[in-house]
Amino acid sequence: MQIVRYSNRIEILNPGFSLKDMGSLGTPGSRLRNPAIAAVLHEINWAETNGSGIRTMRRLAADAGLPLPEFASDRQKNEFKTTLFLHHLLPEEDHAWLKSLTSEALTADEAKALIYARETGAVDNTACRDFSGLDTLQASNVLRRLRDRGVLEKQGAGNRTHYTLSHAGERPDPHPEQGKLPLEDGKQPPEGGKQALEGGKRNLPPLPESLARRLPKQGKRVPTAALRALICDLCGWHPLRGEELANLLGKDLKYLRNQHLSALIQTGALVFLYPESPNHNLQAYQLPENKQHAAD
């Protein structure tokens, strides 16, 4: 047996497809795969033999006001899957917030997409697939429906497409405690400049002097190993976006991503702040958790 927990459901996978017709699930009577084992389990009161389990699950879920469990049998995969839905577990404040956005009924996947966008600042197709279990087309349909209702706004294009809440006031500041980001010359990047920060500028804590001294001078070439070590140390100090690293290091953002950041992600030296959504509008790089503890 395998139990998989998702954000909105629990899936229980059992080896062996159902010998009983799916339309007959919940009706009295069992089709036993191994009568000898079933007899022993029945004898010690660990199992019943009259096929009442699924009927009981449905009855208890209905009595408790919970969504009924879903059952699926796959002969080709030789497995039987039970899905227990969790979207009913949203706290009252989340239900109230969702009702304030739209008077229309929301599906569980739509509710999760809106809450994800509120908590992280944006939601894209990859994230929607991860927390809903939908395929690419289904996730796109969920996000488009929310866009058409006016609760999400589409941002970017192509593989950078993401959606933000239509009303900026609905999204809390994701980094309320941070200070300002110092650059090598002590100046902030110009508004709308080449290295303008995607998703808006952030205020970061003051850069430690030990790191500030290691920042490369303008036009000075730094060996690959030393530069990557510095990138890791900077991201160990604070999760940083690509644009912020480019500004600090005086490097072109595209060069930095292609030549260093991608390699550091692939080797596990760095990880994404939002690993489930690589193209997240607020994506940043940080040290893996085990290395963060070592750095501390």
**What domains appear along the chain, each with residue ranges and CATH number?**
2-88 (3.30.565.60), 90-170 (1.10.10.10), 209-295 (1.10.10.10)
Please name the residue that has the structure tokens 């999204």: 171
Q: In this structure, what is the dihedral angle of CA atoms 88, 57, 69, 43, given to the nearest 10 degrees? A: 130
pLDDT at 201 over 70: no
Contacts with 107 (C-beta within 8 Å, 6 or more apart), sequence order: 142
CB 287 within 8 A of CB 268: no
The reported pLDDT for the residue numbered 96 is 81
CB 88 within 8 A of CB 67: yes
The reported pLDDT for the residue numbered 260 is 93
Q: What is the per-residue pLDDT across 97-150, written as a single tens digit (0 to 9) for each?
A: 888 888 888 888 888 889 888 877 888 888 888 777 788 899 999 999 999 999
CB 228 within 8 A of CB 262: no
What is the mean predicted confidence (pLDDT) over 243-259? 90
Contacts with 53 (C-beta within 8 Å, 6 or more apart), sequence order: none
Q: Which helix (H) or strand (E) holds 106?
A: none
Name the residue with higher pLDDT: 246 or 158. Answer: 246
Distance between first and last Cα of the chain: 39
pLDDT at 187 over 50: no
The reported pLDDT for the residue numbered 196 is 34
Measured CA to CA in angstroms, residue 72 lies from 15, 161, 184 at distances of 12, 34, 59
Least confident of 181-190, 225-234, 235-244: 181-190
Q: At CA 203, angle to CA 198 and CA 209, rounded to 5?
A: 115
Greatest CA span in the chain, whole angstroms?
81
pTM of the model: 0.41
Task: Report how far residue 129's alpha carbon sits from residue 147's, in angstroms, rounded to the nearest whole number.
Answer: 17
* Confidence label for 192 from pLDDT (cuts 50, 70 and 90): very low
Q: How many CB atoms lie within 10 A of CB 4?
A: 12
pLDDT at 72 over 70: yes
The reported pLDDT for the residue numbered 180 is 36
The reported pLDDT for the residue numbered 244 is 92
Q: How many CB atoms lie within 10 A of CB 144?
A: 13
Name the residue with higher pLDDT: 294 or 121. Answer: 121
Task: Report how far residue 279's alpha carbon sits from residue 241's, in angstroms, rounded to the nearest whole number.
Answer: 12
Average pLDDT, the chain: 77
What is the mean predicted confidence (pLDDT) over 283-295? 74
Q: What is the per-residue pLDDT across 5-61, written as a single tens digit (0 to 9) for each?
A: 776 678 899 988 888 777 677 666 677 777 788 778 777 766 665 666 787 787 777
The reported pLDDT for the residue numbered 117 is 84
Assigned token pair, 203: 């205020």
Assigned token pair, 80: 């039987």
Q: In this structure, what is the dihedral angle of CA atoms 93, 99, 102, 105, given to the nearest 10 degrees? A: 120
